[in-house]
Amino acid sequence: MSDMARMVVELKLEIDKEPSCSKSVNETVNGSHQFTIKGYSFAKGMGSGKCISSDIFTVGGYDWAIYFYPNGKNPEDSSMYVSVFIALASDGTDVMALFELTLLDQSGKGKHKVHSHFDRALESGPYSLKYKGSMWGYKRFFRRTSLETSDYIKNDCLIMNYTVGVVRTRLEGPKQYSIIVPQSNMGRGLKEIMEAEVGCDIVFRVGDESFRAHKLILAARSPVFRAQFFGLVGDRNLDEVMVNDIDPTIFKAMLLFIYTDKLPEVHDVMSSSSSTSTSTNIIQHLLAAADLYNLDRLKVLCESKLCEELSAVSVATTLALAEQHQCVQLKEV
């Protein structure tokens, strides 16, 4: 090997030995929302599981909402405590966040009631919100009798402040150029078509209500609908179906899932119904409907929601439901 060739090889070896480097930076994007409840005394009779919700606000690229339960989120807490929760109100999976809830002292003494997750971040890490509707908060936030005689209520008004810190991870290294692709809006578009009844070719009569839909979309999502409309014994010309074994509210929620692939907001479902069913009851019936129409993803979403809301009051009915509909994961909770 010539001296020149040897020098080139040695130079290449030196270059190859240079280390590459990068740095992962984890930080929070923080934002706050003040939620004021005027006329607190008028809300006390709402009943267990009923809530007052804040306007939707945005922090860290995600939408959030505060839910205040004057009579407790669960029946067993209704006579003793108020409940407060914050929920992820936009699409997202495994959103990592920290929270701080402050109930404002209105006496001017500055003795605010603060529950902070920020100062416990190193101990327990941020909270993970699995999907839209996931909540963080306190079922037994404040004993009701103590709250109503405290300085936190003045002139029948209650003020709370929620701070959200969304955890973001960024990689610092050589400059990389990329084009940001927007999130899919297919679900929103299909929902708008359903609600506007554009091009519908099937009508469902459910109780005293009627729902118009599209056979192709239903068939694409549910094997049961596919067989009913396009199977060997199906009727392609069918334009009306009577449904006798599902409540109209539950059927509407199931249709919303079929068109959007998301678990409908339970609060929206309950507000559109005159039923006194609890959130858990709604999800239990929705799970049964999902099993009936072979909507496997909806069934698992309902199982997950029931697992979150499991309590001494609901455990027996939830276990019976899991047994009846072969919910293996739910039975193991």
Say yes or no to pLDDT of 331 above 70. yes
Q: What pLDDT sits at residue 77?
A: 58
Write the CB contacts of 51 (distance below 8 Å, at least 6 apart in sequence): 67, 68, 69, 73, 267
Mean pLDDT of the chain: 85
Q: Give residue-wise pLDDT tens across range 52-110.
A: 899 999 998 899 999 999 888 887 755 688 899 999 998 877 888 998 999 999 888 88
Q: What pLDDT sits at residue 12?
A: 52
Q: What pLDDT sits at residue 290?
A: 94
Return d(Cα 230, Cα 223) in angstroms, integer.
10
Kindly report the length of the chain. 333
Q: Give residue-wise pLDDT tens across range 285-314.
A: 999 999 999 999 999 999 888 888 888 787
Write the CB contacts of 294 (distance below 8 Å, at least 6 apart in sequence): 222, 223, 224
C-alpha distances out from residue 298 to 58, 259, 278, 279, Å: 27, 12, 19, 16
Three-class DSSP category at 264: coil
Structural domains for the chain: 25-171 (2.60.210.10), 186-331 (3.30.710.10)
pTM of the complete model: 0.49
Q: What pLDDT sits at residue 321?
A: 84
